[in-house]
Amino acid sequence: MTVVTCPVYGVEKFQRPIVRCSPHPDIATAEQDDLSQAEPNGEVQAFFHDDYDDDFDDEDFDDDFDDDFEDISDEEFDDIGEIDESDFDDIPIPDEEFDPVFGVASGAGHIFGATGGVMEAALRTVAELVTGKPLESPDFKDVRGTAGIKEAEYDLAGTKVRVAVTSGLSNAAKLLDSIKSGEKHYDFIEVMACPGGCVNGGGQPAVPAYVRNNKDVRKIRASALYNADANMPLRKSHENPVVKEIYDTYLEKPGSHKAHDILHTRYVRRKAYK
C-alpha cells in the first residue's frame, strides 16, 4: 500500500510510477483496507489506488455532466415561486447543541503534518486491529524524524510488516526505483512531496535564510505536532467518536461498499493542455 498525501505533486509525479512498481492492477486507499486480513504467506498486502481508463476523455465528462445537471430556464425558475419565511413557522425544529467548530480531533490526526505522521497514525490502528490488544504505547518513533527515507519493520501478532517513509520528490524517486528493481520490498509506504512533510510546505510561513542555516525548522515544527499529540485525550484515529458515529450511522463499516464508493476516488488519463 502506498499513501501519497500531497494531492497535486503526489498524484502527478507518482501515480504512474507506482502502478508500474505494483504487480497488482487493483488498488485501495489506506482507510478502507482491512489490514488484519493477512495472506497465507504471513504478509499483509495492500496497494495504492490508481484506476486508468484509456477510453476516458473530456467530452465524455462533459456529456455526463450535462445529463446530470440540465439547464433551468428563467421561466421555469420563476414558476418555482418565491419562498415565504412564514411557511416554516409551523415546522417543529428541536433545540440542539452546536457542532464543534473544528470537529473532534485525535493526536493521530495532528501528526499528519510531519513526515511519518500518516504512517504512524495508520500503524496505531493497524496494530490494534491485527493483535486485538490495546497498544502499551501509541508511539512508533522509528518512522519519525526528517531523514529523506526511513525504514522500519514491526511484528504484529506474528505478521512482519515492513514500512518505508519518504519525503521530497528526489527521495521518493529513489525509493520507488529500489522497489522496481527488486532491491526493496515494503508492505506500506508513505510519500510526502515536501521535504519534512507539510510542516515544510509552501503554505507555511517563510523563514529567513539566517534562521534556516542554524536551525532545522522542519524538526522544530514537527516537534510541536508531536507534543500536541502526546497531550491529546484521543491519540488513535479509530477511537475518534465522530469517525465511529459516521460509520455506525451511515458508512456501515470500514471497507463497506458504501465507504468504498464515497471515500475512494479514481485517477484517469488526462489530455495535456496545449
Residue 202's pLDDT is 83
pLDDT, mean of residues 85-101: 77
Has residue 243 got a pLDDT over 80? Answer: yes
Report the candidate in 186, 129, 189, 133 with the shortest Cα–Cα distance to residue 160: 186
pLDDT, mean of residues 219-226: 96
Confidence of residue 77 (pLDDT cuts 50, 70, 90): low
Residue 222's pLDDT is 97
What are the CA-CA distances from residue 158 to residues 130, 133, 138, 187, 228 (Å)?
10, 14, 19, 15, 32
- Percent of the chain past pLDDT 70, that is, above it, reads 66
pLDDT tens, 10-32? 566 655 555 445 444 333 333 33
Residue 104 is placed in which grid cell?
473532534
Report the candidate in 165, 132, 148, 98 with the shortest Cα–Cα distance to residue 238: 132
* Contact status, residue 179 vs residue 17, Cβ threshold 8 Å: no
- Percent of the chain past pLDDT 90, that is, above it, reads 49
Confidence of residue 38 (pLDDT cuts 50, 70, 90): very low
Q: Which residue has the cell 521518493?
A: 172
pLDDT, mean of residues 44-68: 42
Has residue 85 got a pLDDT over 80? Answer: no
Residue 203's pLDDT is 85
* Contact status, residue 124 vs residue 235, Cβ threshold 8 Å: yes
Lowest-confidence segment of 35-39, 78-82, 216-220, 243-247 by average pLDDT: 35-39
Q: What angle do CA 213, 214, 216 make, to 5 degrees?
A: 90
Lowest-confidence segment of 3-7, 82-86, 97-101, 190-194 by average pLDDT: 82-86
Report the candidate in 122, 110, 114 with the shortest Cα–Cα distance to residue 3: 122
pLDDT, mean of residues 53-62: 44
Domains and CATH numbers, the chain: 2-51+101-263 (3.40.950.10)
Has residue 81 got a pLDDT over 80? Answer: no
* Contact status, residue 267 vs residue 52, Cβ threshold 8 Å: yes
Lowest-confidence segment of 76-80, 101-105, 130-134 by average pLDDT: 76-80
- pLDDT, the chain, mean: 77
Confidence of residue 240 (pLDDT cuts 50, 70, 90): very high
Helices (H), the chain: 9-21, 58-68, 74-80, 107-110, 117-131, 169-180, 209-212, 217-230, 241-246, 257-263
Q: Any residues with CB less than 8 A from the CB of 33 and at least 6 apart, and which? A: 1, 46, 255
> What is the rounded distance in angstroms from the CA atom of residue 132 to the CA atom of residue 134?
7
Has residue 45 got a pLDDT over 70? Answer: no
Higher pLDDT, 127 or 20: 127
Helix (H) or strand (E) holding 150: strand 149-156
